[in-house]
């Protein structure tokens, strides 16, 4: 019910003890692992007094990942609004975060750390584009694995319905953000989510927000293009990582649950209103969005995203394999040719 039959469950599923138990024991640690790969790559900065709002926080997943991935924030006076429709998930998350803090030796309990954790039971109404709340506007608004509950029943080919879902999602998060606040959206690494993220990017641009990560440019999203090739050729914006560094205990549990994980994938978008200070934008760069794979000429390749569109980056096996998802490549040469299979421009790494 939490994987391939998730569409059959109710939105308040985390209020049920059996679902909450399964989520906390299996999905929470894997989601933490995923976020602890992503968050350091974003190079976020925080200051005492900052407000973070986490929409659909579940058992405080983002707050726990922030504690792990950004130890420099543990001495800052942050205020975190943890919002979810499930009281059970919120209370379980508070207990988990307390235990996490105790076990990292930084505190004897959540009351002793400088973070102010606001537990807020609230149902996020996706039917409304504009909502009014009395919360202080946040310097960072998070929506982690939240919006897929809105669009997962939609057909991948129903672009207009997905666009409408993206429009509402952008409005909801925008209404929580301070004038120069950032908005982080993380979704599953599947084609439908990748398309949603690409559409969400467009809706944020319409609202005056610029993509910060993973985009290297402000041009139209190349991943919305459909290549009518024999293999179906549709590319989507997502990033995959091996789980080799996950704990032995977590791998044993995953094997026992018959849900082993060799790889983790996600789609995400970090956006904000301050593009002039955006150090990530590099119109000449290529953001890697695929694993390495062999090519007919015995070289290897990875797909990447750029202001020129989809790129097939090629080179010797050892050089291509040293790259990873999310890497930004700036040292390459365009061949002027296109890949027959995908329609992507071909470039060679220098």
Q: Indicate the pTM of the whole model.
A: 0.90
Q: Which of 155, 208, 226, 215 is nearest to 185 (CA)?
A: 215
Per residue in 265-279, pLDDT (tens digit) is 999 999 998 655 455
The pLDDT, as a whole number, for residue 9 is 58
Q: What is the CATH number of domain 6-277?
A: 3.40.50.150
- Report the distance separating Cα 142 and Cα 335, nearest Å: 40
- Report the distance separating Cα 95 and Cα 59, nearest Å: 9
* Largest Cα span, the chain: 61
Least-confidence region, from 36-50, 62-76, 145-159, 244-258: 145-159
Q: How wide is the angle at C-alpha 132 spanned by C-alphas 128 and 135, nearest 5°? A: 130
Q: Residue 66, preceding bond cis, omega within 30 degrees?
A: no
Least-confidence region, from 42-51, 270-279, 280-289: 270-279
Q: Are strands 309-315 and 345-349 parallel, antiparallel or unpaired?
A: parallel
The pLDDT, as a whole number, for residue 108 is 47
Segments making up each domain of the chain, as ranges: 6-277, 286-349
- Report the distance separating Cα 261 and Cα 30, nearest Å: 9
First to last CA, the chain: 47
DSSP assignment of 191-252, as one string? HHHHHHHHHHHHHHHHTT-EEEES-S-SS--GGG-----TT-------EEEE-TTS-HHHHH
Whether residue 79 contacts residue 50, with contact meaning beta carbons closer than 8 Å, is answered with yes
Contacts of residue 116, Cβ cutoff 8 Å, sequence gap at least 6: 77, 78, 79, 80
The band of 102, judged by pLDDT with boundaries at 50, 70 and 90, is confident
Residue 129 has pLDDT above 70, yes or no: no
Least-confidence region, from 124-128, 283-287, 323-327: 124-128
Structure tokens at 221: 């999203």
């Amino acid at each position: 019910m939490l994987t391939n039959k998730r569409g059959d469950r109710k939105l308040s599923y985390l209020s049920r003890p059996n679902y909450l138990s399964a989520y906390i024991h299996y999905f929470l640690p894997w989601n933490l692992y995923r976020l602890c790969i992503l968050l350091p790559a974003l190079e976020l900065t925080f200051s005492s007094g900052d407000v973070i709002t986490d929409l659909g926080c579940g058992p405080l997943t983002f707050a726990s990942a922030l504690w792990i991935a950004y130890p420099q924030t543990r001495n800052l006076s942050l205020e975190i609004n943890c919002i979810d429709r499930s009281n059970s998930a919120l209370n379980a998350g508070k207990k988990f975060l307390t235990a996490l803090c105790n076990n990292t030796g930084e505190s004897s309990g959540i009351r002793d750390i400088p973070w102010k954790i606001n537990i807020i039971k609230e149902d996020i109404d996706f039917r409304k584009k504009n909502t009014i709340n009395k919360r202080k506007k946040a310097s960072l608004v998070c929506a982690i694995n939240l919006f897929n509950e809105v669009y997962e029943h939609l057909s991948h080919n129903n672009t207009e319905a997905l666009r409408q879902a993206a429009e509402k999602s952008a409005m909801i998060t925008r209404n929580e953000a301070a004038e120069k606040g950032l908005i982080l959206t993380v979704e599953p690494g599947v084609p439908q989510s990748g398309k949603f993220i690409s559409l969400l990017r467009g809706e944020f641009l319409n609202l005056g927000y610029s993509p910060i990560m993973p985009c290297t440019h402000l041009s139209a999203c190349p991943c919305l293009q459909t290549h009518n090739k024999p293999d179906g050729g549709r590319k989507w914006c997502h990033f995959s990582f091996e789980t080799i560094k996950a704990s032995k205990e977590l791998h044993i549990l995953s094997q026992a649950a018959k849900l082993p994980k060799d790889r983790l994938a996600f789609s995400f978008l970090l956006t904000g209103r301050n593009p002039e200070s955006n150090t990530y934008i590099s119109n000449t760069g290529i953001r890697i969005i695929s694993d390495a794979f062999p090519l007919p000429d015995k070289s290897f390749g990875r797909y990447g995203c750029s202001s020129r569109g989809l790129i097939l980056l090629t080179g010797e096996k050892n050089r291509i394999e040293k790259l990873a998802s999310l890497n930004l490549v700036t040292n390459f040469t365009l061949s002027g040719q296109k890949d027959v299979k995908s329609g992507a421009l071909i470039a060679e790494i220098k």
